[in-house]
Amino acid sequence: MIEFYFDVISPYVWLTSHRLKKLQDKLNLEIQYTPVLFAGLLNAHGSLGPAEIPAKREYTVIDAMRWANFYGLKYEGPPQHPFNPLKALRSCLYFKENKQRAKWVELLLDACWSQGLDIRQDSTLLSLAKDFKINGDELLQAIASPEIKTQLKQNTIHAVERGVFGVPTFRVEDQIFWGHDRLDLLELYLQGKLNIDLNKCKEVLQRPRAADRRNHN
């Protein structure tokens, strides 16, 4: 079982979703789609998102467009960014069955990143629900339910506890793979072709720091 932590706010999550199905079929993987709030990860780790540093924001747009071009995907991007992804993330939790959830996540990501739809809006979610042949009113009710709101919070807390600091992140057997650009390493790991000495890793992390910036701001 592989856990896939995602937030629809990231173009790299969208790019990942397009590669994931192929990898899943190739290696016959069971992948748990777990929505988390990226902003919650940043808050917990005292980190900054790419959209919060102007030069990095600019780079992220062109980088995502380059990858889209590489994969043959149409990039449009959402009408606003960053945007509040809460409703969209909660909508994923309406689907209890994992394969159905995966399909909904794909639909949602394509709507946002490829078609340029505003997935914050009820009207967009209702229209996608219609395409997906589910009851849109039921979906909106579920999104507003305390159970689903709590579940998204819990997902984010659990992700932080497991060392997740960004999206997309994959977790398998206590190993974390961060970024759509680490899918090749994940594949090698799953095939037993990555040999990492975890004791060496621990030893390296215990070495002293010899320089720190005085002021981070």
Instruction: State the nearest-atom distance from the C-beta of 44 to a second copy, in Å.
Output: 9
Query: How far apart (Å, rounded) are the C-alpha atoms in residues 60 and 63?
Result: 5
Q: Residues, the chain, total?
A: 217
Query: How far apart (Å, rounded) are the C-alpha atoms in residues 72 and 90?
Result: 29
Query: How far apart (Å, rounded) are the C-alpha atoms in residues 20 and 26?
Result: 10
Instruction: State the nearest-atom distance from the C-beta of 135 to a second copy, in Å.
Output: 28
Instruction: State the nearest-atom distance from the C-beta of 87 to a second copy, in Å.
Output: 12
Instruction: State the nearest-atom distance from the C-beta of 27 to a second copy, in Å.
Output: 18
- Measured between alpha carbons, how far is residue 216 from residues 26, 46, 128, 212 in Å? 44, 11, 43, 9
Point out which residues bind a second copy (CB under 8 A).
39, 42-43, 45-48, 51-59, 61-63, 65-67, 69-70, 75, 77-84, 120, 163-166, 175-176, 178-179, 181-182, 185, 188-189, 194-197, 200-201, 204-205, 207-213, 216-217
**Identity of the residue, 39 or 126, whose beta carbon is nearer to a second copy in the bound complex:** 39
**Identity of the residue, 25 or 62, whose beta carbon is nearer to a second copy in the bound complex:** 62
Three-state SS for 54?
A: helix
